Amino acid sequence: MSVIEITSKEHFTQVTDVPKDKLLALYFHTQWAPPCIQMNTVYQTLSQQHPEVSFISINADNHSELSEMFDVSAVPFFALIRDNTILKEMSGADPKEFVTSLNELTNGKSTGEDSQRNEQHNSTAPGDETEEQLNLRLSKLTSAAPVMLFMKGTPASPQCGFSRQVVAILREHQVRFGFFDILKDDSVRQGLKKFSDWPTFPQLYINGEFQGGLDIIKENLQEDPKFFENTI
Amino acid sequence: MIRSMSKPIEQAIKTKITGAFQPVHLAVKNDSSKHAHHAGLRGATNVTESHFRLTIVSDAFAGKALPARHRMVYTLLDEEIKEKGVHAVQLKTKTPTEWEKDPKDL
C-alpha cells in the first residue's frame, strides 16, 4: 500500500474513517525542511512493509488546521493512531524511533512510555549559504518553538554541564521546549554567536527573544520564581 | 612569581575588568580543572585556564538588563574567549545596591 497524500480537510476525514483496529500513521512534513526529504523515502518504504497500516502524509504548511489539531510545532512530525487515540507522537528526523514504535504497535503490543515531548528542530544548511540566508534561518530557528534551547548535545544526552543544567531547570519547571544541537551544525553554532551577540552556549530564546545563558536564567528565577510563567 | 606567571589569562581578566568597570568587588574563580576532560575541550591546548566564574560588582551595570551586562563583560574578554581558549565564563554582575542585598560570590 502506498502513502496517501492529503489534499483537503475533507479528504483527511474521509481517509481516517477506518475500522477501530486499524493503525493510522500520520506524517507531517514541509517542502522546505531538508530532513523531511530524507524521511519521505523512509516513510514510503515503511508503507510497503506494513500494508496493514494506513500511511497518511500531510503537508503541514498547506494544512495548518490539521497541524494545529495535532499540535505540530516542528517537522518531521509523526503520530500513530488507533481507535481515535493517539498512541504515540514524535518529532524529528530520527526514523529509528518511528520504526520501533510502528513495530511495537503492529505486533499488538502497546507501550506505556510517554513520547519524548521535546522537539528537535533540524534545519540543514544548503551548500553555499549566504550570511543573509543564514540569518533568515537563524531567525526562523530561534522562534521555531515558544521556548527554544540552543545547546550542546540533546536533552537526553547533553554534551556540556551548562546545557545539562538548563535542561534540568526547564524540566523542573515543566517548560515544554524545542531544542537545537549546535554541535551538529557549525554554521548555526558560529552564526548564532553573532546573531545573539553572545559568545557561548547554551542560549535560551523565549518567543523569539534572546534571554541569555544559564547564569541569567538562574538569576531570573531567583528574582522571580514564576519567571517562565510570566515570560512565556 | 612562578604562580602568578602561570596564570596569564586570569591576570588579564582581572586587569581588564578592573580597568573597565572599576568594580567595588571582584572575584575570579578558576574552574578549569573540573572541565579538563569534557567533550568541548578535546584537542584544546589551554586546559588550565579555560573555565572561569566571575563576580563583578560595579556601578557600570546600573540601569542595564542582565544580557546587556553580560555582553559588556564578554566584549571586554573577546580576545580571551576567541583566541586564548577561554571556553566558559560564568557571570554574576551586580550593582553595589543589588550586591548589598545578597553579597554572595558566584
The ipTM assigned to this model is 0.82
CA dihedral angle for residue A36, residue A40, residue A41, residue A43, rounded to 10 degrees:
120
CATH of domain A4-106: 3.40.30.10
pLDDT in tens, A122-141: 666 556 788 888 999 999 99
Counting one residue from A and one from B, how many pairs have CB atoms under 8 Å apart?
42
| Secondary structure (3-state) at B54 | strand
Q: How far apart are CA B65 and CA B50, in angstroms?
A: 26
Q: Where in chain A is the domain with CATH 3.40.30.10?
A: 4-106, 144-231
The verdict on a CB contact (< 8 Å) between A199 and B74 is yes
Kindly state whether A159 is in contact with chain B, defined as any CB-CB distance less than 8 angstroms: yes
Residue-averaged pLDDT of chain A: 85
pLDDT in tens, B47-98: 788 899 999 999 999 999 999 999 999 999 999 998 888 988 999 999 999 9
Q: Which residue stretches of chain A are H helix?
A: 9-15, 34-49, 64-69, 95-106, 131-142, 161-172, 186-196, 214-223, 227-231
Architecture of domain A144-231: 3-Layer(aba) Sandwich (3.40)
Domain boundaries, chain B: 14-37+48-101
Mean predicted confidence (pLDDT) in A84-105: 79
Q: Which residue stretches of A16-130 are H helix?
A: 34-49, 64-69, 95-106
Confidence of residue A89 (pLDDT cuts 50, 70, 90): confident
Kindly state whether A215 is in contact with chain B, defined as any CB-CB distance less than 8 angstroms: yes
The verdict on a CB contact (< 8 Å) between A215 and B88 is no
| Secondary structure (3-state) at A85 | strand
**Contacting residues of A for B89, CB less than 8 Å apart:** 200
Model pLDDT, residue A113:
33
**Statement: residue A228 has pLDDT above 80:** yes
Q: How far is B71 from chain A (nearest CA, A)?
A: 7
Kindly state whether A152 is in contact with chain B, defined as any CB-CB distance less than 8 angstroms: yes
Give ∠ CA A153-A158-A164 in degrees, rounded to 5: 130
- How many CB atoms lie under 10 A from the CB of residue A148? 23
Which single residue is written with the C-alpha cell 578558576? Answer: B30
3-state helix, strand, coil in chain B (%, to 5): 45, 20, 35
Assign domain B14-37+48-101 one CATH number from 3.30.1310.10, 3.20.20.110, 3.40.1280.10, 3.30.300.90.
Answer: 3.30.300.90
**Contacting residues of B for A214, CB less than 8 Å apart:** 90
**Contacting residues of A for B70, CB less than 8 Å apart:** 198, 212-213, 215-216
- Per-residue exposure over A54-75, b if at least 16 CB sit within 10 Å of its own CB, e if not: bbbbbbbeebeebbeebebbbb
Give ∠ CA B83-B84-B88 in degrees, rounded to 5: 100
**Contacting residues of B for A162, CB less than 8 Å apart:** 88
Per DSSP, the residues of A182-193 read GGG-HHHHHHHH
The verdict on a CB contact (< 8 Å) between A214 and B90 is yes
C-alpha grid cell for residue A135? 540569518
Burial class of residue A214, CB neighbours in 10 A (0-12, 13-18, 19+): buried
Q: How far apart are CA A200 and CA A214, in angstroms?
A: 10
Q: How far apart are CA A29 and CA A67, in angstroms?
A: 10
DSSP 8-state class, residue A24: E
**Between helices A214-223 and B66-76, what is the axis angle to 10°?**
150
Confidence of residue B105 (pLDDT cuts 50, 70, 90): very high
Name the residue with higher pLDDT: A117 or B84.
B84
**Contacting residues of A for B40, CB less than 8 Å apart:** 152, 159-160
Confidence of residue B1 (pLDDT cuts 50, 70, 90): very low
Beta sheet of B25-30, edge-to-edge order? B25-30, B51-57, B88-94
The residue length of chain A stands at 232
Q: Which residues contact A74 (CB under 8 A, 6 or more apart)?
A: A91, A92, A119, A120, A121, A144, A145, A178
Which of A166, A200, A206, A221 to mutate against chain B (most B CBs within 10 Å)?
A200
pLDDT in tens, A140-182: 999 988 999 999 999 988 888 899 999 999 999 999 999 999 9
Q: How far is A48 from chain B (nearest CA, A)?
A: 41
The verdict on a CB contact (< 8 Å) between B40 and A152 is yes
Kindly state whether A214 is in contact with chain B, defined as any CB-CB distance less than 8 angstroms: yes
